[in-house]
Amino acid sequence: MKKYLIAGLLVWLPLAITIWVLHSILGALNGMFGALVSAGQAVLPTGAYEPLQLLRNIPGLGVIILIAGLLLTGMFAANMVGQWWLHQGNRVLSHIPIVKSIYSSVKQVSDTLFSSSGQAFREAVLVQYPRHGSWTIAFITGKPGGEVAQHLSGDYVSVYVPTTPNPTSGFFLMVPRSEIVALEMSVDQALKYIISMGVVAPGAIEAHGAPPVARNPVG
């Protein structure tokens, strides 16, 4: 009976977790749409607000509207007119006390992580952490800069060491480039390896052969 229970758990657990994650994401998006509708109640007349209230009760409509809004915003930002308006908006937000500190910091991080020209999280590497002789997977996020770089002698790189099984938290380290080992695996494969706590070896899903072998340390 124990064997059958474990077999059943292996079948349903991945499906249940997938459904839970998707339900959480959809719930968050619908909540954002509901917040926008509630904000519209304060600025729109009663006659114009009632249709919005009816739309709020349609399941999944908030997700569709938010995705469409993101697409339209991206199309607007991709042309010269949109870039000019965004530049003006950034200038205004950059001169508002308190707001400018939060906005500029978040914008720098998002531009670095999601820009197609950025190098953050483009490469998985091996680093020795938390002690010498103990290795873990990390992701290169760039190079130290500013005052920090002035105190570091030699060629250093900035890396993010994610925790297991939740890679959204982790540690930021600056290590010598000569002490990291570049990996052949993709970032997606490395994340699967981390989330599974080493159970799902790199390449085990795409191909059932031996996992990729690390290259020589980056020089």
Q: For the whole model, what pTM was predicted? A: 0.53
Percent of the chain with pLDDT over 90: 17
Contact 211, 201 (CB under 8 A): yes
Q: What is the mean pLDDT of residues 11-30?
A: 78
Provide CB contacts within 8 A for 99, sequence distance 6+: 93
Q: What is the mean pLDDT of residues 115-130?
A: 77
Q: What is the mean pLDDT of residues 77-84?
A: 81
127: which strand partners? 136
Give the pLDDT of residue 84. Answer: 85
Give the pLDDT of residue 181. Answer: 94
Q: Is 51 exposed, middle or buried (0-12, 13-18, 19+ CB in 10 A)?
A: exposed
